[in-house]
Amino acid sequence: MTPELDRLSRPSRAISRSISAENPTGGPGAGGAATEGPGAQAAGAMGRGWKISPCIEIAAGATATIAAIEGAGTIRHVWLTAAPHRAWRGSILRIYWEGEGEGKGKGEGEPAVEVPLGDFFCQGWNVFGQVSSATVAANPNGGLNCYWPMPFHHSARVTVENVSPDPMTLYYQVDYELDDDIPADALYFHAQWRRSNPVPRGEVHTLLDGLRGSGHYVGTYLAWGVNSPGWWGEGEVKFYFDGDTEFPTICGTGTEDYFGGAWNFDVPGTGYTAYTTPYLGLHQVLKPDGLYRSQQRFGMYRWHIPDPVRFHREMRATIQCLGSGPGDGNGLGYRYRPNSDDIASTVFFYLDAPSAAASLPPKPTFLSMEVD
């Protein structure tokens, strides 16, 4: 029996709650009681309780708080969908723990999660890609689900900022438990986004840097846009932690190998072949269309759930932007070459602090992210 199923067989004092546009406070017996909202006209004479407020609209440049929770508990599931699809890279999901960002936290007030909405759910290209994994599920057509457990001791806050020039419509549901038995040493969930567009030739793309504390690195999602012909995924993923300097403790053998594939993801006669599994996948292969989409683009994920990367003092991680071409008589049949691709990464980790301000990348210009 899996730990999740085993948990269901045990008695618990936890109290189930859910926040949505139909119950924005998550209060008991408060769902579906709206008297006005975007669905009022569609409900017509059906009246209160008949989907009066199924969604919210977020104006250009505005930020909506979609969940504000007081007390100890765990967020268990987040579902949302947004329209239009270009809002996936034109909005930012942020999550704060224990009052961070409100002037009363112990850290720098930074969010624990700060990621474009689509990238958090492995949808970095504004184009839907099916994901069937243990912690992220993306279902037709744009139903985005997250099952990363997110415990907290005093409070949690979830916001969505619309950084696009157009309004966005957001449907959402945050399912959580209130529970006074959260272990005192429970780690906080974090996610960070970085983009190198392009990666300077001969340099690496940084996944995570300057992280201080103790915790577990649990996941990587990459939205990779190829800017050179030939094979692009020779690069190694490297994890440096707890005193590593020039060389890492963990070093992979290639990009496709890290994501559980092999031999360029190329099935002879088929070419690039997408797959999605509980812990890893190449779920998105976007090919040039001979017109406006000139470059190949890919989406891939790896969840370190059975194999977390554990660190106790510090951590950083990188991936090489490395391709290969004809071997020029070197006997191998190919030769490595540094590429200069567009790589956007989202990394997921648990940390013994509600804020990881020291490891945050420079504030990105999110408005430059539109790709579709």
Label each residue of the chain as H, E or C.
CCHHHHHHCCCCCCEEEEEECCECCCCCCCCCCCCCCCCHHHHHHHCCCCCCCCCEEECCCCEEEEEEEECCEEEEEEEEEEECHHHHCCEEEEEEECCCCCCCCCCCCCCCEEEEHHHHCCCCCCCCCCEECCCEEEECCCEEEECCCEEECCEEEEEEEECCCCCEEEEEEEEEEECCCCCCCCCEEEEEEEEECCCCCCCEEEEEEEEECCEEEEEEEEEEECCCCCECCCCCEEEEECCCCCCCCEECCCHHHHCCCCHHHEECCCEECCEECCCEEEEEEECCCCCCCCCCEEEEEEECCCCCEEECCEEEEEEECEEEEECCCCCCCEEEEECCCEEEEEEEEEECCCCCHHHCCCCCCHHHHCCC
Q: Which of 186, 215, 241 is the last residue of a domain?
A: 186
Residue 149: pLDDT over 80 = yes
Same domain assignment for residues 176 and 203: no
CATH number at residue 270: 2.60.120.1390
The confidence band for 332, taking pLDDT boundaries of 50, 70 and 90, is low
Mean local confidence (pLDDT), 123-149: 97
Under the banding of pLDDT at 50, 70 and 90, the label for residue 6 is confident
Do 240 and 106 belong to one domain?
Answer: no
In this structure, the answer to whether residues 57 and 143 fall within a common structural domain is yes
pLDDT above 70 coverage of the chain, percent: 92
Give the pLDDT score at 107. 43
Residue 7 in any domain: the answer is no
Residue 1 has a pLDDT of 54
Confidence band for 106, pLDDT divided at 50, 70 and 90 = very low
Query: Where is the domain boundary, 152, 186, 220?
Result: 186
What is the number of domains present in the chain?
2
Is pLDDT above 80 for 344? yes
User: Are residues 198 and 271 part of one domain?
Assistant: yes
Whether this model's pTM surpasses 0.75: yes
pLDDT at residue 35, rounded to an integer: 80
pLDDT for 105 equals: 44
Determine the average pLDDT of the residues in 150-154.
98
**pLDDT above 90 for 326:** no
Q: Are residues 310 and 326 in the same domain?
A: yes
Does 193 share its domain with 340? yes
Domain range spanning residue 75?
13-186
Q: Which of 162, 186, 210 is the last residue of a domain?
A: 186
Identify whether residues 39 and 108 lie together within a single domain.
Answer: yes
pLDDT in tens, 243-300: 999 999 999 999 999 999 999 999 999 999 999 999 999 999 999 999 988 899 999 9
